[in-house]
Amino acid sequence: MDNPTDLKYLATHEWVRIDTDVATVGVTDHAQDQLGEIVFAELPDVGDSFSQGDDMCNIESSKAVGEVHAPVSGEVIEVNETLEDEPEKINSEPYTGGYLLKIKMSNPNEVDSLLDAAAYQATLG
Amino acid sequence: MVDPRKTPLYDMQVKMGGKIVNFEDWMMPVKFEGVIEEHKWTRQHAGIFDISHMTEFMVEGPDAVPLLKTLMTNSVGIGDFKAQYNHMCYPDGGVIDDLYIYREREDKVRIIANAQTLETDGKDFNWIKDHIGDFDATITDLSLDRARLAFQGPETMKLLNPITKADITQIKRFNWIYTEVTPSPTSPTSQETIPIFLSRTGYTGEDDFSPALGSFEISCDNKHAEALYQTFLDTGAKPIGLGARDSLRLECCYALYGHELNAGITTIEAGLGWVVKEKEGTKFIGQEVILKQKVEGAPRVSVGLNLLDKGILREGYKIFKDGEEIGYVTSGTFAPTLEKTVGLAIITPEHRAVGTELDVQIRKKMKKAVIVKTPFYTRGRNI
C-alpha cells in the first residue's frame, strides 16, 4: 500500500491528516504490517492532552505492543470508537477507517517538523 | 557475534512468504498468512509446524533407562514405542527443561527437548552427559542432523494417513513408530520413500484419543527435510508460524519453557505435579524439594486468568489483590478460538481459587481479571 501523499508522517510510523487546526492520527501501513493482526487498541480519553512526541496510546497485536506517539501537541477531541469492536480495521484500512483519534492542535507550527510521504518512505530503507 | 541459526526449511519458508523473526537465536517464521488465521485453520483443518529448532538426543546402552530415571521427574517406566512428558530439574527443584522421552528399547531412548539459544546451547545434552558417571550409557546429539515437524489439527489423520506406509489411525496417543512417507510428485527428492520417526503427540490440543482425531510430531534426516515439508504441504495442510504455535499452546495451557517454567520455577509451582512420580529404588535430581512441595504445597502456584477489562495480558505484568502484589503473568494472548484475553500467571497460593478477582497492572492502569479453570480450551469444549 502506498503512503498517501496528502498526509504527514513521523519516523515512528504515525500519520497525520491536517484539516485546519484538527489533526487526524493513525499508524502507517508499514507499522500495521510489522505488528501483525491488531487485537486491541488502547486509546486515550477525549479531553486528554499530549505534547508532541508523548506516548499517546498503544495498539497490540497477537504478538507485540506498539506505542503510538503524539505527532502534534494538543487535546484529544475524538477517538475512533469502532476500533473497540473492530481493531483489525487498523490492519485493513490503516489510512481511513482504521484511524485512531483526532487532536485539536495547540501549536500548528509543529506540522512543519513532520515528514512528507517521500521522506517517510525514505526512512523505511 | 555469531549469526542466528536457520533450520533446513528456512529457504522454503522465506519463499513461501513467511515473516521471519529471531526466536532463541533461530531465524523462524512467526507467521505466513496471519497468526489468528493460522490458529483457526489449525483448530478446524490441519497445519504444519517447523520445529526443527528443537533439540533431539539419543540415549543408548544397557543403563539408558536407569540413567534417565535419576534425571527425569516422571516414571520413565514406559513400554517400547511409548512417549512420556518429563521435566529435568536442578537439585533445588527449578526446571532445566521440559521434554519428551520416546523409548525404543530398554537400551535406546530418544529425547526431544526445547530449542536453546546460542548462549544456552548444549544445556540439556551436557546435563545428561555430565551425569552418566558409572552408568553404562551414551548420549548422542541428533539436533542438527535431523529436522522436526508437527502435523496438527482435526484433519491430520485424513491428510497424513494416505501417504504413510503404516496405518497411523492404529497409533494410540503417546505412542510412536518408525514408518515411511511417499513423497509428493512436486517434492524435491528422487527418493521413493522418506523414513520418519512419527509420534502421536503435540502442542496444539488437537487430539482427543479417538482413532480419527490424532495429531503428530515427526522427525527425519535433514536431507529429506524439504521433501517431507513439501509433501506435507501438498496434502492441503497449511504452513503455520511460531505465533500461532504459541497461541494454540496457550489456549490449552501447555507450559512454555522460559515463561511458565524456568530455573527459578519448580515443576510443582508450575502446576505440573502429575509429571512427578516417585520411583522405586531411584531418586531423581530435585526430588527432595519437589516431593515436599507436592505434599505440603508450593510457595507459589500457577493459575489461568481471563482479563475482564479490555486489553491484552503480557508476560511480566504484575498481579495485585487488595493492593498487595501477589505474582505476575507468565504468558498472555488474545485467544482466537475463545475470543477472550487469557493468560497464565504465577501467584501466592491463598488467592488461587477459581472465580477470584484480581488486578493486573497494564502500564499505568489496573485492570480486572478473574481466575478461571484451566485449560482454557479442550477440543470441543471451551471456557
Interface test with A, best of B310, B338, B365 (most A CBs within 10 A): B310
| Residue A71 belongs to domain with CATH number | 2.40.50.100
Could you read off the pLDDT of B96-124 as tens digits, one per residue?
999 999 999 999 999 999 999 999 999 99
Task: State how far Cα B70 lies from the chain centre.
Answer: 22
Question: Domain B5-54+146-249: what homologous superfamily?
Answer: Probable tRNA modification gtpase trme; domain 1 (3.30.1360.120)
State whether A40 and B30 contact (CB < 8 Å).
no
**A40 chain-B contacts, CB cut-off 8 A:** 310-312, 334, 341
The minimal CB distance from A40 to the residues B247, B312, B363 is found for B312
Question: What gap in Å lies between CA B98 and CA B27, rounded to an integer?
Answer: 22
Q: Report yes or no on A47 lying in a domain.
A: yes
Shortest CA gap A39–chain B (Å): 7
A67–chain B Cβ distance below 8 A for any pair? no
Closest chain A CA to residue B334 = A62
A64–chain B Cβ distance below 8 A for any pair? no
Shortest CA gap B76–chain A (Å): 36
pLDDT of residue B1: 64
Could you read off the pLDDT of B243-301 as tens digits, one per residue?
999 999 999 999 999 999 999 999 999 999 999 999 999 999 999 999 999 999 999 99
Task: Write out the three cell numbers for A11.
Answer: 519516523
Question: Given a cut of 50, is residue B383 above it in pLDDT?
Answer: no
Backbone angles phi, psi at B9, to 5 degrees: -105, 5
State whether B314 and A39 contact (CB < 8 Å).
no
**B243 chain-A contacts, CB cut-off 8 A:** 36, 62-63
Q: Report yes or no on A3 lying in a domain.
A: no
| SS3 readout for B109-146 | EEEEECCCCCCCCCHHHHHHHHCCCCCCCEEEECCCCE
CB pairs under 8 A between A and B: 38
| B67 close to B137: Cβ distance less than 8 angstroms | yes
State whether A36 and B333 contact (CB < 8 Å).
no
Closest chain A CA to residue B311 = A40
Question: Domain B55-141: what homologous superfamily?
Answer: Aminomethyltransferase beta-barrel domains (3.30.70.1400)
Average pLDDT of chain A is: 94
pLDDT of residue B119: 95
Q: How sure is the predictor about B382, in pLDDT bands with cuts at 50, 70 and 90?
A: very low
Average pLDDT of chain B is: 95
Task: Identify whether B195 is preceded by a cis peptide bond (ω within 30 of 0).
Answer: no
Closest chain B CA to residue A60 = B312
Nearest-CA neighbor of B244 among B86, B50, B55?
A: B50
Q: How sure is the predictor about A46, in pLDDT bands with cuts at 50, 70 and 90?
A: very high
Could you read off the pLDDT of B35-72 as tens digits, one per residue?
999 999 999 999 999 999 999 999 999 999 999 999 99
State whether A42 and B247 contact (CB < 8 Å).
no
Q: Report yes or no on A33 lying in a domain.
A: yes
Q: Report yes or no on A86 lying in a domain.
A: yes
Shortest CA gap A14–chain B (Å): 21
A 10 A CB-CB count for A111 gives: 14
Nearest-CA neighbor of A57 among B365, B320, B369, B366?
A: B365
**A60 chain-B contacts, CB cut-off 8 A:** 311-312, 334
Question: What gap in Å lies between CA B362 and CA B294, rounded to an integer?
Answer: 32
The minimal CB distance from A40 to the residues B36, B311, B336 is found for B311
pLDDT of residue B73: 98
The minimal CB distance from B36 to the residues A62, A65, A84 is found for A62
Residue B94 gets which letter from DSSP? B
Q: Which residues of B touch A (CB under 8 A)?
A: 19, 30-31, 34-36, 243, 246-247, 310-312, 314, 333-334, 336, 341, 363
**A84 chain-B contacts, CB cut-off 8 A:** 310
A92–chain B Cβ distance below 8 A for any pair? no
Question: DSSP letters along B207-244, please?
Answer: --SSTTS--EEEEEEGGGHHHHHHHHHTTTPEEE-HHH
A62–chain B Cβ distance below 8 A for any pair? yes
| Residue numbers of the domain that contains A101 | 8-105
pLDDT of residue A2: 83
Q: How sure is the predictor about B381, in pLDDT bands with cuts at 50, 70 and 90?
A: low
The minimal CB distance from A40 to the residues B19, B243, B334 is found for B334
Look at residue B365 and give its three-state secondary structure. strand
Taking the CA atoms of residue B122, residue B88, residue B301 and residue B203 in that order, the dihedral angle to the nearest 10 degrees is 70
pLDDT of residue B2: 75
pLDDT of residue A96: 96
The total number of residues written for chain B in this structure: 383
Question: What gap in Å lies between CA B286 and CA B268, rounded to an integer?
Answer: 11
- What is the Cβ-side half-sphere exposure of residue B369, based on CA atoms within 13 angstroms? 37
Question: Domain B300-383: what homologous superfamily?
Answer: Aminomethyltransferase beta-barrel domains (2.40.30.110)
What is the domain count for chain A?
1
List the domain boundaries for chain B: 5-54+146-249, 55-141, 300-383
